[in-house]
Structure 1
C-alpha cells in the first residue's frame, strides 16, 4: 500500500492534461528522430545527440505503435510513476511504511516532477533508474548482490550520461554508514563496470559538445531556483520543507546500516553540486540534468515528519521481556514478564564497603520487547502525514494546472505550423532563420505542405542531421535572385541587429534580406516570427543596382 498509492497518484497526475496540443522544440526532436529508420537513427548519433541515443531507440519502438503526442509522453508518465513508487520503497526500507508513503506522495505532487512527467524526453525515466539503483544500493549494502545495482545504473547512465554523478553520492552514503571493506569492494566493482560501459558514450558525446554551447555558468540564482523546484516555489511550502529536512538530518541510526539522511542528503546535494562546480569552467549545468536528485528532498522531509511524530509519542511504559525456558527448540510458548523496576540493594563486602549486588536472573534467555503503538494509532499517524501532503498539493495545485497548457513550454511548434498553413500558399518560398527553426516543419509538416524550402539541400533524415543540410551562401543568393517575395520563419533573437550567426548560410540569409528585401507583413507568436519580405524597388539579380548604391 505504501508503494502502490504514490504510484497511482503520480500516474493520475501524469495523465491529467497529457493530450495538450503542441510539442515544444525538445519534444519535436524526439518525435522526428524516433520516427526515422534504425539506420538513419544510427547515422544521426554519429554526428549529434549521441547522449540521447538509447532513448531514441526506445521511442522508435513506442512511436511505431502510433505516432502521436500522447504516446510520445506516456513513457515519461510511467517513469515518473515508477520513480514515485521507488522513493516510497526507499522510505519504507530505511524507516517504516508510513514514511515511505509520505515520501512517495511528496515526490508525486512536486511540480517539477509533474512537468517532466509530461515531456517527451528521457529525464523522468532517468529519475526512475537512479531511484531504483539507490534502492538496490541499500539492499546490497545489507548483504544483497551487486550485479543488479550495476546493471540498473549502467542502463540509466547510457540513457543519460549525467546520471553517473550519482556514483559519488552513493559513495558518500556508504562512507556515512561506515560499511565494512567487503561492501566497498562490491560497490567499487559495480561502479567500475558502469564506468567501462559508459566510456564509449562519453568519448563520442565530447565531440558533440557544441550542442550545449547555449548553456551558461550557474550562479547563486541557479542554486535558489533549483532549491525552489526541488522543495517548493513558495515559502508556504519551502519553509516547512527545509525545517523538516533539517530535523531528518539530525536523526541517526537505522535498521539496515544506512539512515534515511545518509541516503537522501548525498543524493540531493552531490550531483547538482558536482555539475555546478564543473560548469563554472565548462558550462554543462541545466536543472533537468539533475532531476533525479529531487528524490532526496521528499525522503528527508518525510523522515523529518516521522521525527516530529516521535517527539509527541507517549512513553512506552514499563518494559517487559520475553522469557524462554528450556531448549530453544522447545514447544512451550514464550511468556511476557515484567522486569524489576527497583535498583539492586547495596550489600557490604568483606571489608565493610557497600557495593551493589549483582542482579541474578534464573531464566536463561531474556529479550526486551518494545511496546509498539496499536494498529489504530499507526493508521492515524499515516493519515495525518497524508493530510499534510494534501495541503502541499492544494498550495501547488495552480502550478500543476498551469503546467498542463502548451503555453507553459518555451515554444509551441504546432501554433507556428498552423500560422504558416493559414498564411503561406502552396509554392511560396520559405526561409528558416536560423536553420534549426526548420523543426516546426519537421514536427508538424501539414502547415508547410507544398511550400518551397529555399535553403534546404539534403533532408534531415537522409543527411543524418537534426534539421537538414543547407546550401552554401553562393547557391542561396542564386535561388533568391529571381524572387519577388519570400516568407521567413525566424526565432525572435535572429531578427535582432545584435545577433551574428556562426553559420555562413545564415549570415547570407540576413545579408540578402537586409540588402534586397523589405518587410511587408509580420506574425509573432511566443518567440517565433513569421515575416513576409518583398523585394525592394530597383533591386534585381541578388544585389543592389547602381542607383541604390549611390
Structure 2
C-alpha cells in the first residue's frame, strides 16, 4: 500500500506553504470584486447592466443549438466565453434584478483572482517573495482591473490565462503553456499578442517555438471564422484617439521609469514587452484596421504590476520612489474605484432604460429602438418591456441567429409606426450621430410626419421619448 503524500500526513506543511505572497493577491482581488458587484445607483441594492453584458446575458441563455448557429454568423470571438456562461446559468440563474447579476459577474471575479495569483507567481519567479506580494496585490488594485473584475465579459479570464502562461513559460512547461495560452486565445483571440511579448524572454528556447506554433495552429479555425465577421463585428470602432495615444504614452513612461531600476535582465525581458507590445501592436494595426479597445489587451497590465512589485520590493536605489508614487495615486485611485461601482462607469444601463420605458408605457403602445442595435437594451431579461409591441421587428434575435434581430423593410416600418397611436422611442444620447440606414430614416420620418413628442426622459446613456398622434399627447 502506498504511503500518503507528505502534505496528507502533515497537513500543517500544506498550511505553511500558504504564504502571504500566495494568499493576499487573490484574496484582495476577491474582496474588491465582491465590493459593490451589482453596481447599484448610489451603492443601493438595485443593480445595473450595460449593453455588452446584456448581450452576454441573452446569448448565453440560448439553447446550445441556437448558440452554435449564432456563432456561425457573428461573435465567434466570444464563443467559448458564451459557452462557459451557458454552463454557469445552467447551474445558477435568476432575473438580473434578483441574483442574476452575481451569476453573470462572479466568473470575472474568479478570473481576476486567478490573474492576481499568476502575476504574483511570475514576480516570485523573477524577483522573490516581497516583489510577488506587492505585484499581485497591486495588479488586483489597479482600477481597470477592478472594472473588468465586475463585468460579464471575458477579459478578466483572458488576463488570467496570459498571466499563468507567462509563469509556465518561465518554468519551461511548454505543453501546459500552449494549452493555457490557447485557452486564453479562444476566450478572446487578441490574447495571441502575448506571443510576440513572450518571444523576447523565450526566443532561445526551442520548446517555446514549438509551443507558439501549436497555439497559432490551434487558433487558426477561430481566426478564419472571426476574420469573415470582422467588418460587421468591429465596424463601430474608429482609429485610436489622441486620448488613447496619451494613455499609451503614460504607460510607456511608467514602464521606463520602473524598468530603469530593475537590474535583472530576465525581469526586463519578461515584464517590459508584456506591458508594452500587446497594446502598442494593436494600436498600430488599428491605424489601418480599427480594432483597438483597451480592454482587449487588459492583460498587459500584468507586466506593469510585475515591474512595480520588483522595484518596490528590491530595497535598492531610490527605494522611496515607488512608495511615493503609490501614495500620490492612493486618493485618485480610491475615488476611481468608488466610481467604477456606479452605473455611470459604463456607457449605458439597460435595466434603467427598461424600467423607464415600462413606467411610461400604456397597454398597446409600440416601442421603437433607434437605432435597431439598441435592442441590446431589451435583451437583459425576458419581458423587460412588458406589453410594448416591437413594431419594427421582423424576426427575433434567436429566430434570425443574430445579436439584435432583423427588422422589416423601410416601407413596412413606416406603415407600422404610423398605425400606432402611441410610440415609446428608445434613443441614443443627443450627441451621437444619426444612423443613415434606410429603416432608421423611415422611423424618424414617420414620427416627424404624424406625431408630437410628448416627453423626453434622459436615462444614463439613452433617452426615452414618448410620441403620440398629433394633438393626442394629453
| TM-score normalised according to structure 1 size | 0.75
SS of 1:426's partner is: coil
Match of 2:104 among 55, 72, 82: 72
- Structure showing greater radius of gyration is 1
Contact (CA 8 Å) 2:371, 2:435: kept in 1 or not? no
Match of 1:252 in 2: 264
With over 3 angstroms needed to count, the CA separation of the structure-2 counterparts of 1:391 and 1:312, relative to structure 1, is closer
With over 3 angstroms needed to count, the CA separation of the structure-2 counterparts of 1:227 and 1:432, relative to structure 1, is same
Superimposed CA distance per residue, residues 167-214 of structure 1 (whole angstroms, 9 cap, x where no aligned partner) = 111112224xxx3xxx2x211111111111111111111121222112
Q: Measure how far apart 1:245 and its partner are.
A: 3.5
Contact (CA 8 Å) 2:143, 2:333: kept in 1 or not? yes
Match of 2:3 in 1: none
Q: Measure how far apart 1:474 and its partner are.
A: 2.3
With over 3 angstroms needed to count, the CA separation of the structure-2 counterparts of 1:226 and 1:66, relative to structure 1, is farther
With over 3 angstroms needed to count, the CA separation of the structure-2 counterparts of 1:455 and 1:405, relative to structure 1, is same
Match of 1:501 in 2: 436
**CA distance, structure 2, for counterparts of residue 227 and residue 118 of structure 1:** 27
Match of 2:89 in 1: 63
With over 3 angstroms needed to count, the CA separation of the structure-2 counterparts of 1:387 and 1:79, relative to structure 1, is farther
Contact (CA 8 Å) 2:60, 2:83: kept in 1 or not? yes
Per mean C-alpha deviation after superposition, the further-off stretch among 39-48 and 389-398 is: 389-398
Higher relative contact order (CA 8 A, sep 6+): 2
Q: Which runs of structure 2 are paired with 1:108-123 in the superposition (5 Å)?
A: 108-123=140-155
Superimposed CA distance per residue, residues 95-141 of structure 1 (whole angstroms, 9 cap, x where no aligned partner) = 2111111111111111111011001100000000000111011110x
Q: Give aligned pairs, total.
A: 439
Per mean C-alpha deviation after superposition, the further-off stretch among 270-279 and 507-516 is: 507-516
Q: Which runs of structure 2 are paired with 1:127-142 in the superposition (5 Å)?
A: 127-140=159-172
**CA distance, structure 1, for counterparts of residue 326 and residue 29 of structure 2:** 13
Q: Is residue 412 of structure 2 the alignment partner of residue 475 of structure 1?
A: yes
Match of 2:219 among 198, 204, 217: 198
Q: Is residue 337 of structure 2 the alignment partner of residue 404 of structure 1?
A: no
Q: Measure how far apart 1:462 and its partner are.
A: 1.9
Q: Measure how far apart 1:226 and its partner are.
A: 4.3
Which runs of 5 or more residues in structure 1 are unaligned?
Answer: 232-237, 254-258, 314-380, 539-550
Higher helix proportion, which one?
2
Superimposed CA distance per residue, residues 445-481 of structure 1 (whole angstroms, 9 cap, x where no aligned partner) = 4441111110111111122111111111222233234
Match of 2:451 among 517, 523, 532: 517
Q: Which runs of structure 2 are paired with 1:353-392 in the superposition (5 Å)?
A: none
SS of 1:285's partner is: coil
| TM-score normalised according to structure 2 size | 0.87
Match of 1:456 in 2: 393
Q: Is residue 190 of structure 2 the alignment partner of residue 162 of structure 1?
A: yes
Which runs of 5 or more residues in structure 2 are unaligned?
Answer: 1-18, 40-46, 95-99
**CA distance, structure 1, for counterparts of residue 355 and residue 241 of structure 2:** 39
**CA distance, structure 1, for counterparts of residue 322 and residue 240 of structure 2:** 35
With over 3 angstroms needed to count, the CA separation of the structure-2 counterparts of 1:279 and 1:195, relative to structure 1, is same
Superimposed CA distance per residue, residues 295-327 of structure 1 (whole angstroms, 9 cap, x where no aligned partner) = 0111112222244x13489xxxxxxxxxxxxxx
Pairwise CA RMSD of aligned residues? 2.5
**CA distance, structure 2, for counterparts of residue 14 and residue 500 of structure 1:** 37
